[in-house]
Structure 1
Amino acid sequence: MTSHITGFTESRIKTNGITLSVHQAGQGVPLILLHGYPQNHMCWSRVAPELARHFHVIIPDLRGYGESDAPADDADHTTYSKRTMALDIIGLMDALGLNTAAVLGHDRGARVAYRLTLDHPERILKLGIIEIVPTGDFWAAWDANLAMKAYHWTFLAQPAPLPERMIGADPVGYIDWTLAAWTLGKSLAAFPAASLESYRKQALDPARIHAMCADYRAGATFDRTADEADRSAGRKITAPLRFLWAKSGFPAQTGHPADLWANWATDVSDSSCESGHFAMEENPQAVLDCFVPFFRYEA
């Protein structure tokens, strides 16, 4: 099938007990792009065609998002843990016959990406991170100001079905407000019409709203505990890590976000850009300038 991203095709691939919607184009080093909340594969639409000039670009919808399967959460919140979602990507790589790949993640996708790199270091060549710091570190950085900006971390993690019912009262309104509030311009102007339509469409599906909440429930429980266990064990990311953070985004609120990644990886470089949280759509050139050279020259 033809993808809504220019030059890409879509297929459905079974992995780890579910089926993912996957968009692909290009040749060369495999580069997996992982989106965040409350978005899907369309968040890469402004940068993916250029990336596909240099790499074999693979863009799945994470479980629960876009057109991928959206299983119900479990009592221990493992279904949407980043460890489980990382296994989805390992299964995708296996299905595509890829022993190794580079990975670039934004928001929740970046959390899947770094968990993937910690749990399966032999499979990941290089790691790109956009607009997050590690889960445990972000929780630890909370003060009143950050709590107000990142209120969704606690709201979405509340027991079901409270946030699902509240969002379900006006799902499109909630998604539009969230997207606009996290941009530098505080508007929806940065989002292409097709992308915005896809974000609104998934918000109208109660199963996907539940999945998004489950994603954050895992973040507050299983994912945070996994991070703490790795920190206690002294485990670090050994793949080269490139970190892009927005001057008006969430990591900037932690003070020195690159320093936090330096505690988690042996080889870290970083840069910042003029943007809100959604750098790929607000400042796509900054994303390309940061990551094309990093991923192009394979170590």
Structure 2
Amino acid sequence: MFQGFSSARVDLDEVSLHVRRGGRGVPLILLHGFPQNHRAWGPVAQGFARHFDVIVPDLRGYGASDAPADDAGHTVYSKRRMARDIVALMDHHGLEKAHVLGHDRGARVAYRLALDHPGRVDRLGVIEILPTADYWRAMDAGLAMAIWHWPFLAQPAPLPETLIGARPGWFIETLMTSWTRAKSLAGFDPQALDSYRAQAADPAHLAAMCADYRAGASTDRDHDEADRAAGRRLSAPLHVLWARGGFPARAGTPRAAWSAWAEQVTDSPCDSGHFVMEEAPAAVLDAFLPHFRAG
């Protein structure tokens, strides 16, 4: 699925990231979500590479990238820290600016990158999220049942690690199946699914994924609230792709929510579950090729 892409480990200031790269043109960085890794972009990577220099890392704690231990303040997997990894990756490749597109947790890294380093992001795209603080503010019984994994994974260690670690493959399959529109994993690449199962079965990466959500419930939320109070907004043109059967549609109106955070917002819905790249790859390309090519 990444035919023509290189594969390398890149040593950065704090971590080493596994990175794939392919295509030519203006750089476009693709950031994956939970419980996946860079392979989530497989169905659309070549479509983007026909127009852009596509860079697809495994985020820290995921895939073949390093998974450092968390700290007491849950800063190691804060989206601010993870965004700095991407800035360091850009510096490594000599890139002053890039388009950035993220899905799920990667979308949280993407918008934090654009808030903290506005001069480094040309155009921004997010798939299937609302801002972290908005979700916590909207957390009623219905939303809590829909995104139950947020408070579960954020519980103090080693509670979620122990429970998931008893049957990691079952956990990944059950979770992902429930988030698809068809309630099936039939549309996923088998090698990608194997990599997600293996990731959850590795204690260091499982702890990292839980730490990602602990940061979301604390440090990331605090950063968002501080930005809201200070009136900081995204200056990069933003396009939001959301699934009619996904999470943002259950928590509010995606375009209205993002308009409070960004100066320029467009959006588009699609018929999909949460895993839009695998479930509706054409919708991803249709939404974001025009957005990024406009830059």
Which one-letter code corresponds to 1:57 in the other structure?
V
Greater shift in the superposed pair: 195-204 or 242-251? 195-204
Identity %: 61
Corresponding residue number in structure 1 for 2:133: 136
Q: 1:259 aligns with which of 256, 261, 266?
A: 256
Q: Which runs of 4+ in 1 moved over 4 A?
A: none
Structure 2 distance, partners of 1:78, 1:190, is 35
Aligned residue among 30, 37, 61 for 1:40: 37
| Cα-to-partner distance string for 1:148-197 (whole Å, 9 max, x where unaligned) | 11000000000000000000000000000111010001111121111111
Give how far 1:31 is off.
0.2
Q: Distance in 1 between matches of 2:146 and 2:276?
A: 17
For 2:146 and 2:131, the matched residues in 1 are separated by: 17
Corresponding position: 1:115 with 2:112? yes
The amino acid of 1:244's aligned partner reads L
Match of 2:164 in 1: 167
1:200 equivalenced with 2:197 (yes/no): yes
Map 1:58-73 → 2, pairs under 5 A: 58-73=55-70
Per-residue CA deviations over 1:59-111 (Å, capped at 9, x if unaligned) read 00000000000000000000000000000000000000000001000000000
Distance (whole Å) between structure 2 residues aligned to residue 256 and residue 235 of structure 1: 21
Q: Provide structure 1 residue ranges, at least 5 long, that are not aligned to the other structure.
A: none
Match runs of 1:171-186 below 5 Å = 171-186=168-183
The 3-state SS of whatever aligns with 1:242 is strand
Aligned residue pair count? 295
For the 8 Å contact 1:245–1:251, the answer to whether it is kept is: yes
Please state whether the residue corresponding to 1:175 is helix, strand or coil: helix
The Cα of 1:16 is off from its aligned counterpart by: 2.8
1:229 deviates by: 0.2
Q: Which consecutive unaligned segments of at least 5 residues does structure 2 have?
A: none
- The RMSD of aligned alpha carbons is 0.7
Alignment partner of 1:38: what SS?
coil
Displacement of 1:27 after TM fit?
0.5
SS at 2:67's partner residue? coil
In structure 2, the residue matched to 1:276 is 273
Match of 2:142 among 145, 149, 154: 145
Matched, 1:157 2:161: no
Q: How does 1:166-245 map to 2 (within 5 A)?
A: 166-245=163-242
The one-letter amino acid paired with 1:199 is Y
- CA deviation vs aligned residue, 1:176-219 (integer Å, no higher than 9, x gap): 01110100011111211111111111111010100000000000
For 2:239, what is the secondary structure of its paired residue? strand
Moved more, 189-198 or 203-212: 189-198
- Name the TM-score, length of structure 2 as normaliser: 0.99
- Following the alignment from structure 1 to structure 2, what is the Cα–Cα distance between the partners of residues 253 and 276? 12
Tell whether 2:5 aligns with 1:19. Answer: no
Amino acid corresponding to residue 286 of structure 2 in structure 1: D
Output one character per residue of 1:248-298: Cα deviation in whole Å (capped at 9) or x when no partner.
Answer: 000000121210100000000000000000000000000000001111121
Q: Which amino acid aligns with 2:243?
A: A
Is 1:99 matched up with 2:104? no
In 2, are the aligned partners of 1:6 and 1:45 still within 8 Å (CA)? no
The whole-number CA distance in structure 1 between the counterparts of 2:47 and 2:224 is: 34
Normalised to the residue count of structure 1, the TM-score between the two structures is: 0.98
CA distance, structure 2, for counterparts of residue 294 and residue 105 of structure 1: 14
Letter in 1 for 2:91: D
Distance 1:16 1:248 in 2: 39
